[in-house]
Amino acid sequence: MYLPYRRQERIFLRPGHTAMTLHSPGRRECQTITGILARVGDKWTVLVVMTLRERPHRFNELKRAVEGISQQMLTRTVKALERDGLVSRTVHPTVPPQVEYRLTDLGHSLSEPVMQLGAWAAGNLPAIYANRDRYDRESGG
């Protein structure tokens, strides 16, 4: 749905953009926030953060704990989380070297709303499934 530009309220609503008020960040900041939300809302990020919330894990241990993740995707995910400061990586001087991942304080702060979102999803599964069934029946899907 296209909503017009309304200057008096400083709201810019156009296809592909989000609402912005006078006190909201500019377009560049909005895009940055969108990128961060895409990262923290990613399926693998959520699962890795929730797994590391319990305790630090070594790479292969983390791979076994996050069901369905490939080694390549886990590598990408933990590197991105490390880059964003959500995960710290410690290399232990063993042969072969063991790498351990743990949440930083910032990562732990992310795990709180992720837990709340997970609890919301679990608590609303029956309603969501019922709505899907109703929608599929009514739309012939």
Q: Between helices 27-40 and 43-54, what is the axis angle to 10°?
A: 60
Domain shared by 22 and 65, yes or no:
no
pLDDT average, residue stretch 24-42: 78
Among 13-17, 67-71, 137-141, the least confident range: 13-17
CB 59 within 8 A of CB 99: yes
Given a cut of 70, whether residue 5 has pLDDT beyond it is no
Domain shared by 131 and 87, yes or no:
yes
Q: How many domains does the chain have?
A: 2
Domain shared by 11 and 72, yes or no:
no
Domain shared by 96 and 113, yes or no:
yes
pLDDT of residue 11: 42
Place of tokens 């369905």: 68
Burial of 57 from C-beta contacts in 10 A (0-12 / 13-18 / 19+): buried
Domain shared by 33 and 78, yes or no:
no
Domain shared by 66 and 53, yes or no:
yes
For residue 31, the enclosing domain spans: 1-40
Domain shared by 89 and 48, yes or no:
yes
Domain shared by 23 and 66, yes or no:
no
Domain shared by 55 and 117, yes or no:
yes
Domain shared by 119 and 75, yes or no:
yes
Would residue 85 be called left, alpha or beta, if left means φ above 0 and alpha means ψ between -120 and 50 degrees? left
Domain shared by 28 and 50, yes or no:
no
CATH number of the structural domain spanning residue 96: 1.10.10.10
Q: Provide the pLDDT confidence category of residue 123 given band limits of 50, 70 and 90.
A: very high
